[in-house]
């Protein structure tokens, strides 16, 4: 379970005493691009697998 997700664009608009907005912003800056790349690669693997399976049916 990931509890470091970014919930709001502007944490100053909400009462978030239990959250560290600076840490969340840093995590989003540092980790989010890596997560996007991993998701892209996973999608590419799915397409390759589907293509291989489809070609085997022919």
Confidence (pTM): 0.60
Q: Residue 13 corresponds to which tokens in the numbers above?
A: 């608009």
Geometric angle at alpha carbon 28, from 21 and 47, rounded to 5°: 150
Q: Where are the domains of the chain?
A: 11-57
In this predicted structure, what is the pLDDT of residue 27? 87
In this predicted structure, what is the pLDDT of residue 2? 62
In this predicted structure, what is the pLDDT of residue 44? 95
In this predicted structure, what is the pLDDT of residue 25? 84
The segments of the chain whose pLDDT lies below 50 read: none
In this predicted structure, what is the pLDDT of residue 1? 53
Q: Residue 8 corresponds to which tokens in the numbers above?
A: 């709001």
């Amino acid at each position: 379970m990931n509890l470091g997700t970014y919930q709001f664009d502007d944490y100053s608009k909400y009462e978030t005493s239990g959250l560290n907005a600076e840490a969340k912003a840093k995590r989003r800056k540092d980790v989010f691009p890596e997560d996007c790349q991993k998701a892209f690669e996973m999608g590419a693997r799915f397409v390759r697998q589907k293509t291989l399976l489809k070609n085997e049916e022919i």
